[in-house]
């Protein structure tokens, strides 16, 4: 694990130890579950959106490695109060960042989420970092099936 040490920056460790928005959400109107077979990460995501398309609240539960938990925690913190459209943009920017399709310094809307740029050098970790986001996509598209992250890099 020593070659991954740079990934475990303070922010990631903090979110892994003290996940934000952890638990079940009362009154959720979107839900999806994701599973990363490569690492064994699991996530269950609840969202509550209002009629104007704003994500009023969201919560996750799950188990898995530090990267997957920190990513889910930081995603929920980043998305609360955002519009679904903005969440979709963030999803694509995050995906391009962790898969190396965009430069680590690009994606100005990502903010703190940029700490995950380091996973691009560890292909097995890309799925850990992106699991929460794929689960978000499934939830927003009312695609409640378990996400299989076992196909390709995305």
Alpha-carbon distance of 17 to 134, in angstroms, equals 22
Alpha carbons 15 and 128: distance in angstroms, whole number: 14
- Token look-up 């409640």 returns 144
Q: Helices then strands (H, E): number in the chain? A: 4, 4
23 vs 40, beta carbon nearer Zn ion: 40
Nearer to Zn ion, 49 or 68 (CB): 68
Of residues 58, 79, 65, 90, the one with CA closest to residue 15? 65
Between residues 39 and 84, which has the closer beta carbon with respect to Zn ion?
Answer: 39
- Inter-CA distances, 81 with 22, 27, 35, 63, 88, Å: 16, 16, 26, 25, 14
**Contact assessment for residue 94 and residue 130, using Cβ atoms and an 8 Å cutoff:** yes
Give the residue with the Cβ less far from Zn ion, 11 or 89.
11
- Shortest separation between residue 128's beta carbon and Zn ion, angstroms: 3
CB of 64 to Zn ion, least distance (A): 5
Binding site for Zn ion (CB under 5 A): 39, 41, 64-65, 68, 128
Report, in Å, the least distance between residue 127 CB and Zn ion: 7
Minimum separation from the CB atom of position 3 to Zn ion (A): 15
- For residue 55, the minimal CB distance to Zn ion (Å) is 24
Q: Which is nearer to Zn ion, 102 or 149 (CB)?
A: 149
Q: Which residue has the tokens 């996940």?
A: 19
């Amino acid at each position: 694990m020593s070659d991954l040490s740079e990934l475990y920056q303070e922010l990631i460790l903090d979110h892994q130890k003290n996940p934000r928005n952890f638990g079940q959400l009362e009154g959720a109107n979107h839900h999806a579950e994701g599973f990363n077979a490569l690492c064994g990460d699991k996530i269950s995501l609840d969202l509550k959106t209002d009629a104007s398309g704003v994500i009023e609240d969201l919560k996750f539960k799950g188990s898995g490695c530090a990267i997957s938990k920190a990513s889910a925690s930081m995603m929920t913190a980043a998305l609360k109060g955002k519009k679904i459209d903005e969440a979709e943009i963030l999803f694509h920017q995050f995906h391009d960042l962790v898969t190396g399709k965009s430069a680590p310094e690009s994606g100005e809307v990502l903010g703190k989420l940029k700490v995950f740029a380091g996973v691009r050098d560890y292909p097995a970790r890309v799925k850990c970092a992106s699991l929460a986001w794929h689960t978000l996509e499934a939830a927003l598209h009312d695609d409640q099936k378990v996400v299989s992250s076992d196909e390709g890099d995305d």
